[in-house]
Structure 1
């Protein structure tokens, strides 16, 4: 799953802190494999979240979690428009 979001200028540190908290809680969830939070070099107020889960159902279950919902509250109003999520199937995963 890849999610792109544009943040309200000046609110990036607050959004980043909430997202780091959110991603930390994902570690404890069944089906979680890994995640990354990245910033495009040419767009410092944009973020891309790259999450890897065993199944989409596991990812969706995490969205009902109390910790996830708490961070959603914290993040409300920090984004400049809706986020955009795309799904991909992992064909190969090479890591050091």
Structure 2
């Protein structure tokens, strides 16, 4: 399994619209092969920033997701709400624990 963490900074006042688009994106990801789970998080000391944590069976599954129509449509909407591009870091999942 692979986990990708993407950090973005949002333009002031765009947070609700960006969050709504990300919820839509995460909901659509549930139907994708290889999807394990994800989270949208907000740092306590930076309400204009977001970290998106997504876990996939493989990086190839994640890359295929980027060809999905819902992903492309939300990317178009979200890019205009962000300050610059997000920063992405990949992690190999060594072990996992969930309730």
Relative to the length of structure 2, the TM-score reads: 0.94
Partner in structure 2 of residue 16 of structure 1: 19
Q: How many residues align?
A: 96
Partner in structure 2 of residue 32 of structure 1: 35
Consecutive unaligned residues of structure 1, counting only runs of 5 or more, are: none
Relative to the length of structure 1, the TM-score reads: 0.97
**Considering only aligned residues, what root-mean-square deviation do their CA atoms show, in Å?**
0.6
Greater share of residues in strand: 2
SS of match in other structure, 1:40: coil
Question: By how many angstroms is 1:92 displaced?
Answer: 1.2
Partner in structure 2 of residue 67 of structure 1: 70
Partner in structure 1 of residue 52 of structure 2: 49
Map Cα deviations across residues 6-60 of structure 1 (whole Å, 9 max, x no partner): 0001000000000100111000000000000000000000000000000000000
Structure 1 stretches of 4+ with a deviation exceeding 3 A read none
SS of match in other structure, 1:28: coil
For 2:96 and 2:53, locate their aligned partners in 1 and report how far apart those are by CA, in whole Å: 13
For 1:76 and 1:7, locate their aligned partners in 2 and report how far apart those are by CA, in whole Å: 9
